[in-house]
Amino acid sequence: MTVYATEYIRDVEEGEMYAQLFRCNDGNIYVVKVMSNPRGRRALFNELVSYQLGGLLNLPIAKGQIIVFSKDIFNDPYLLDEMGIQEGPHFGSLFIKNASSFSLDKLPFCENISMLPEMIVFDHWITNFDRWSEPQNLLVVGKEQYKLVLIDHAHAFNGPDWTIGSLIYWTKNTDIIWGGIYQEFVPFIDNEDPFALALKKLEAITNEEIAAAFGKNLPSEWQVSKEEVKTLLFHLILRKKMIRKMMADLKDYFPIWSSSNR
């Protein structure tokens, strides 16, 4: 089913991509990032592919969807011109009610806190340097019993300005991703081998599953070539083999883990 935007609701206050809320013909509301966003069309590609890759790991990631704008379907076609939104495919994440940016005081009450290692492994796999310092990229959903949900992957693959050359560089690079938000996770996941399950899940993903995550009908309007898609696929396949080494380099941040093998 093609999902069409039908009604503008409001702007989203946070974020550098000027996302906006739209109601769509499937009855849902989406946080939509349009092709004319300041970070470019490749950011939309990053969002869609990251959503699909996160699904391979069963991560709690906000549903991603290609959102099509058409003046024949949108309730106020003149508004699209005023907002500078062209017809065609854009990217939307399902709007989640009762959601707020990550905060440490709610973390102990999150029912899926055991997935924190998998989130860290995922960010290393897709080279997402954004979440460790940006609390708005990790939502806490709920009122009393909370759930963590990942959003915003425009900066995957070391940012929306990636090229074939940069992918080749980052395929070989094993720099760790670490910062304040990840540090707050440590007391909740530190043990003798905190990333064992997360690594096992990632390594179980087949190359065919990774390829399928790109989909067959990536919008040509997003201006990512077949050669670039092929390079990114090989980048992810090869980088998956290097994640275990990267996680081992995090050991000094985990007191129990680092002391267990001494």
> Which 3-state string (H, E, C) describes the chain?
CCEEEEEEEEECCCCCCCCEEEEECCCCEEEEECCCCCCCCHHHHHHHHHHHHHHHCCCCECCEEEEEECCCCCCCHHHHHHHCCCCEEEEEEECCCCEEECCHHHHHHECCHHHHHHHHHHHHHCCCCCCCCCHHHEEEECCCCEEEEECCCCCCCCCCCCCHHHHHHHHHCCCCCCCHHHHHHHHHHCCCCCCHHHHHHHHCCCHHHHHHCCCCCCCHHHCCCHHHHHHHHHHHHHHHCCHHHHHHCCHHHCHHHHHHCC
Give yes or no for a contact between 218 and 52, defined as CB atoms under 8 angstroms apart: no
**Level-2 CATH architecture, domain 3-94:** 2-Layer Sandwich (3.30)
The domain spans of the chain are 3-94, 117-134+152-260
The predicted-structure confidence for 29-45, as pLDDT tens digits, reads as follows: 999 999 999 999 999 99
pLDDT for residue 261: 64
Tell me the per-residue pLDDT of 163-215, one tens digit each, with 9 for 90 and over.
999 999 999 899 999 999 999 999 999 999 999 999 999 999 999 999 999 88
Characterize 115-126 residue by residue with b for buried, 16 or more Cβ atoms within 10 angstroms of its Cβ, and e for exposed: bbbbbbbbbbbb
Condensed to tens digits (0 to 9), the pLDDT of residues 54-76 reads 999 999 999 999 999 999 999 99
